[in-house]
Amino acid sequence: MDEVNVAVIAPVLGRDLSFVSDVDPRVRVFDASFAAPGHRAGPGDPAAPDSGLPADVLARAEVLLVGYPVPENLAALSPRLVWAHHTQAGVSNLAGSDLWGSEVTLTSSRGVVAATAIAEYALAAAAHFARGLHEATRQKAAGQFTRAGYQMRTLRGATMGVIGLGGIGREVARLSRAAGMRVIGTRRSVAAPLPGADEADLVLPASQILQVAAESDFLVVCSQLTAETRGFINARVFAAMKSDAVLINVARGEEVDEDALVEAVTTGRIRGAVLDVYAGELAGQPPRPELTGLPQILLTPHISASGDTDMAGPLRRLFAENLRRYLDGQPLLNVVDRARGY
């Protein structure tokens, strides 16, 4: 293989791109991160019309490392592009770009993006309700201070349901079991009940989501956003859940039917919800008022991955490993299956 040009549009990884260039002497790396939103090309930097993207860099790029948000027209501006890697675990961002409809091989960072930090958030969300912090917060806002209203329980012995036992889902399962919880979850690739797999006590096919919902005290959404999962946490799921169960979403807001969620919490169908995402968030829309106004719902601004002091490290290592594989003609890790949506 001759010289390989790699373009990087991923400010989250910093300016030191030696993790790319050090892979092999054949690699030529170009920093195009200034073209990402919030970064402007400097004087003399050639850019594609109306895009701010460095046209000369993309025109010769064979490999692309791209973060979030994904700029438009990358495929059109990169006629030599063979492979593009996304720094995010989810690829719904790519699905809205012209890369999705191209012949370019796509890979993602699923399983390495702050999985432990996100799993800790999910466990903290469960403890928020289980250990009375939800009621304490409500009482403080109401100017009250009483033992009345607390619905206390321990996490030990409770059931954590995990929808989507991928990299993040497995870490949620691992930490939950360490806390003494029973874990039941779903995985799309499983065809029959599978005990003791993927860090869970029981793994069920994705089609058995209602059984997981019925058995769970806390139901965590960790699945990828696809055509199948859009709005699939719906009224049927809420109807199957226990009345004191809590929904936790660390995936994408569009996977939850928010009309059904609001009805479920206001009617007491479920106890409450902790959401790190909401529908329309990635498009820049504000959350619907009920998500910030209802005391049964705790909404945070997509911060569950924050606090990991080495979040960029695993991303760099994954891309470097995949680049070695690409140069050696070996199969890439985390190849996106466009038909499945992840």
**Exposure of 54 in the CB half-sphere (CA atoms within 13 A):** 23
Q: Which of 72, 281, 290, 321 is catalytic?
A: 281
Q: How far apart are CA 333 and CA 335, in angstroms?
A: 6
Alpha-carbon distance of 334 to 342, in angstroms, equals 9
Q: Catalytic site residue 39? A: no
The H or E element containing residue 162 is strand 159-163
C-alpha distance from residue 318 to each of 23, 41, 109, 240, 324 (Å): 12, 28, 7, 39, 10
Residue 61: both structure tokens together:
């790029």
The radius of gyration of the chain from alpha carbons, rounded to an integer in Å, stands at: 22
Which backbone phi and psi does 210 adopt, to 5 degrees?
Answer: -70, -35
302 is catalytic: yes
Candidates 252, 254, 255, 271; catalytic one:
252
Residue 72 appears among annotated catalytic residues: no
The candidate with the shortest Cα–Cα distance to 289, out of 317, 266, 314, is: 266
Spatial strand order of the sheet with 63-66 comes to: 27-31, 4-9, 63-66, 83-86, 105-107
Question: Token digits for 6?
Answer: 């790699």
> Looking at residue 254, what DSSP letter applies?
G
Interatomic CA distance for residues 300 and 128, integer angstroms? 13
Sheet with strand 246-249: strands edge to edge: 194-197, 200-205, 182-187, 159-163, 218-221, 246-249, 272-275, 297-299
| Among 28, 174, 269, 302, the one annotated catalytic | 302
Residue with tokens 């109306």: 50
Number of CB atoms found within 10 A of residue 188's CB: 18
DSSP state of 13: G
In single-letter form, the type of residue at position 177 comes to R
Residues labelled catalytic: 252, 281, 302
